[in-house]
Every structure is written in C-alpha cells, then in structure tokens.
C-alpha cells in the first residue's frame, strides 16, 4: 500500500508540474491584462477544461459580457476551442488539458 501511495503522489506532483508549464506556455501565446478574466481563467482550465460562457462567468464572478470577451481572447490564442458548432449554448474546451 505504501509503494502505491508514493507512486500516486509522484504522479500528482508530475501532473501539477505539467499544468504549471502549460499555463506558462499559454501566457506566452498572448499578453493578457493582469487580473483580467482571460488571465484568471488560465488557472481554472486544469480543473475545468470544458466550460460554457455562463459557467466561466460564474467561476470567475464576472458578467456574461466579460466572460464572452475572455473566451474570444482565449480562442484567438488557441487555448480554447468551440466544440458544438451551434450559434447558442456553445461549449468550449482546452484541448491541451484533455490530452
């Protein structure tokens, strides 16, 4: 049991390290204003790799408009992709997290 726990902790630490590296890579792709919804959203995607605009607004505590602008910026930076193809009720995913 102890060996398995050590392996799981090592796996968790490696995953966390990969997420930090990924977030830093995203920050290089596009300059985000400090404290903006877009910048704050980056830290959420390892935990919530699939979001809606409404969901992102709720998670960040911002308006729908602010979350919509953030999603647009994150799509432009190739961090989020729209997955539904619909005009309404769109779902966005961070594919690099889902790999």
Q: Which residues of the chain have a pLDDT value below 70? A: 1
pLDDT of res. 99:
79
The pTM of this model reads: 0.82
**Helix pair angle (64-76, 53-60), 10° resolution:** 110
With beta carbons less than 8 A apart as the criterion, state whether 51 and 64 touch. Answer: no
Alpha carbons 13 and 33: distance in angstroms, whole number: 29
pLDDT of res. 1:
66
pLDDT of res. 87:
87
């Amino acid at each position: 049991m102890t060996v398995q726990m050590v392996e799981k902790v090592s796996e968790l630490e490696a995953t966390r390290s990969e997420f930090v590296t990924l977030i830093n890579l995203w920050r290089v792709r596009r300059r985000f204003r400090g404290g903006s919804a877009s910048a704050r959203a980056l830290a959420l995607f390892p935990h919530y790799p699939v979001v809606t605009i409404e969901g992102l607004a709720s998670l960040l505590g911002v308006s729908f408009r602010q979350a919509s602008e953030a999603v647009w910026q994150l799509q432009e930076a190739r961090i989020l992709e729209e997955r539904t193809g619909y005009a309404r009720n769109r779902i966005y995913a961070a594919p690099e997290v889902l790999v």
